[in-house]
Structure 1
Amino acid sequence: MECALNIDHFTDNSTYVSRHLMVYGAVHNYIVFALGVVLNGVALWCIRKCTKTNAAMKLLMMSVFAALFVICLFTRLVMAEALIGQIYCDPMRPKPTVLLGFSLLYALFAQFELAAIAVVAVFRTAAVWASNAYVLRMRVAVAAVITIFIYSFLTAVFLLGAMFVGYIKAPVLDIVNGVYFFLNTLLPIFTTMTCYVAMIIAMRRNKRRMAQVQSSHSRVVNNATRGMMAVFASNLIFGVPHSIYHLMPRPSQSFGIIFHVLFSTHFIVDPLVFIYFNHSYRRRVCERLWAGWAWVAGKCGGPAPTTPRPLGSSTTTSLDVKMGAREKHQHAGQVV
């Protein structure tokens, strides 16, 4: 039996929530679960297989998609169940303690992802502005990841968790809520935007120096930077409305479903645009997909499909030229 769905965050502001909207929200969570696990897993695989990005930067970039992978794998099904429980008047589906735990897990890794993107942007900007070739050290990257995780854990559990269970009450609640979401959503976005603007300015002002530093590995730098800028654009489009929603003093549950559906869409858009705008990653994925298709065709008894030229060859036409360029610019590939 279905509820009347006359449910809202505030008892004095009853708002009818459309059943179709709640069903759509639940289905969307299932879609994000399935596609998010696959796409973020592929993004992690691409970064791990890359031999031209230094290990420290790979750690930072992998932390971004590892956070999204955890969100999609462990939290989307629980959020879908919560919406279904509201539709069918079952407050124990899932249990409140389980829902609270997974909500905090979601908040922890969502703000971790935004902070990690901002840190990647800061280090890339530092590399562009440095007078000499800048090499990110592994200990610096590890310290950054650990610091972000500890900060995200403490604020999610002890600040957001306190708001969830009612330890912080109005009027202080509205102030704490605004500060929390500004620091953990809008501030990382503003930081990332500032860094990429500074990076573009530096590259234009120092074309000769950048040509000397990056001429041998411009494709590596451009690919990696292009991919992360695409991820940032995705966060900008899907994340800013979500942040504004949380800064609203009394948002209805209908708004909550709409804005969280919009925000959670970037869990699958981020890895997709990251792979697409990184030419080497896109080529590697296409080659694997084509190899898988050829294997399936062979197992089914059909003729093996001929590999098309764009998937079987890169912009360099000779393997010897590739190997020579790799040996010549081996050191340059580390300066990313």
Structure 2
Amino acid sequence: MKGLHLTAQRILQLAGLCLACTTSISSLAAQTTQPTSTFTTPYILQDYLSQERKAAGLVSKSIQVGNVKWTYNEGGSRSSPSILLIHGLAGNRDNWNRVAHYLTPYYHVIIPDLPTNGDTQVPSDFDISVPNVTEQLRQFVIKIDVEDKLNIAGHSLGGSIATLYASQFPFDTQSLFLINSAGIYKKANTIYSKDPYFLKNLIVSKPGDLDEVSHQLMQQPPNVPFKLKQAQEKVLIAQSPQTQKMIEQIITLNRIYTPDSFARLAGNVEAPTLILWGKQDKIINVEAANELKSLLKRAEAPVILNNVGHMPIIEADQEVANHYLPFLAKSQKFINPLTDKLIPLN
């Protein structure tokens, strides 16, 4: 059953990854959410997710913060340093379960569903611009009392949110981990990063689309039992109208923002940073990794995983953890230069 659980989790994680790619820090401004769907996730997926969380040492929780009812996974001891794991656009908290399995024995792990994603509930007129989502995320971590010396990790668009958080709250950010992180890069040369119109090709809108999309997202997509794949396609198809509208916003707004505005944001990050990329990423090409390093003050040389695409947290979860754990251990000894006057700032 363990192998079946793994493949089920991997296919479920494709739910939000169609858009977790080239979106910039500001490219979702002024969007509003769509009415809550009446679609219910098939029980077979719910059951496997529950088992995956348990195997990873995670439990599902919820908490009301302002007008947002957050749903999140939590695991590990609260006496250990805290890690906030951020999923990509239209993804969900369970995208991180396989990586979290390696983290919970040593760290306190928090993985929220971002507003309008997964089971987190927001008003119909909620502003899902990245700056507002980041501010709401800040209120969430304060409410659950993990904001101090927080280690933050983000995948794809979640990397942009993590970067913005670290830039806005440098006193409280202990470390930053960016995986195939979205942004506006000068060296981005895939069709998706050059022209967001092509993101429409990643929408799962009819049966059979999921196979094609998964081959764009991953170098070696896993074999998935037919019933699980069929159930997941139903979820994605139900989400496709909202996905279409979000892409139309991205197409419009990505004409406004530039690599220079993204560079200024990244340049404000004070935290030590680890960058990891799949070499065969077809969504954001691997050359963006070194460009991102050049923008950050304290970034280590990027880790490049061969035979991995846009989805290292699915394709190479153990490798991701193997690189992240030593970086985390080293980062806990780091004294934030903004709080220690003896350490010169760059």
TMscore range, shorter length: under 0.3
TM-score by length of 2: 0.24
Larger Rg: 1
Higher fraction of helix = 1
Higher fraction of strand = 2
TM-score by length of 1: 0.24
